Every structure is written in structure tokens, then in C-alpha cells.
Amino acid sequence: MTNAPTISEDPAASRPYYRLLGLRVETGMPAGHSTVRLDSRAELENSRGDVHGGVVASMLDAAMGVAVRSLLVNGEGATTVSLTVNYLEPGNAPLIAKGRVVRSGRTISSAEAVVEDSSGRMVAHAMGTMRIIVRQK
């Protein structure tokens, strides 16, 4: 068993967009990994009653962002440069997004994420690139 750093605080608590969607970030994940959960509501569904694709994309982006930021030091941030989403199945809540860093560099990180429904069926898959931002002192 390793003593890898973990995400100790729920990033959703400090991000208004996450709160708007109702995203919950699971704490205690190993560094470089994340789990984001969504219990949907009617406002987030499309006309068929499935979770809207934009919400699914936001979950994927959030999962990758949380995973990347878990490897950063204080004063650093990350922003999405590119996001490629493949929708595989309609998604019905609750949904779970799992993100992981594929490669982390000094200025760019690559990550991937999947969204699954409660039965474990894969709803969407994404690859993303994030730019590391070092805040000036």
C-alpha cells in the first residue's frame, strides 16, 4: 500500500458550475484519479428524459480537471485546452464519471474519463488536454 496523496476536499463545494449541475466529487481518491457523481433532475434532461449530452460532457470535463488538479501544487491551476467526447449510450441518472491522468507534464496534462450509469454501462468516453496555469506572485 502506498502513501499517495489524496483529494481531501470536495472541489464541487467551491465551484459554482459544479453546484449548479449538482456534481459531487468523491473524496479520498488517489492523486491523478477522480470520481464525480450526478443525481439528475428534470432541468438536466433532454426531451427523452435522458441526461443532456452537455451535462455528460461537463461531468467528463470535471472528472478530468479534478484528476489533473490533484497532482498540482498550491498556486497552480488547470484549464481545458481540448475535449473530445464520444457518446455511447443514453444516460439515465444517477451517473458516475471516473477520471484519470494519462500523462502529466510541466505545462500540459492529458487525461481521460468515462461516464457510467448505475448498472456500470458506459455512457460516454472522453480524452482531454489541460494546460497547467502557474499563478504569478
Tally of structural domains, the chain: 1
Asked if residue 54 is part of any domain, the answer here is: yes
What's the mean per-residue pLDDT of the chain? 89
Owning domain of residue 101: 11-134
Tell me: the pLDDT tens digits for 27-38?
888 999 999 999
Does any domain span residue 29?
A: yes
Write the CB contacts of 95 (distance below 8 Å, at least 6 apart in sequence): 37, 38, 40, 51, 56, 59, 115, 116, 117, 118, 123
* 23, 68, 123 from 87: Cα distances, Å: 19, 22, 6
Would you say 128 and 112 are in contact if contact means Cβ atoms under 8 Å apart?
A: yes
Ranges under pLDDT 50 in the chain: 1-8
In a domain, 28, yes or no: yes
Say if 1 falls within a structural domain: no
Residue 12 DSSP label = G
For 53-73, how does the pLDDT look when each residue is reduced to its tens digit (9 = 90+)? 999 999 999 999 999 999 998
CATH code, 38: 3.10.129.10
Specify if 33 maps to a domain: yes
pTM confidence score: 0.89
Q: Which residues contact 42 (CB under 8 A, 6 or more apart)?
A: none
The reply to whether 93 falls in a domain is: yes
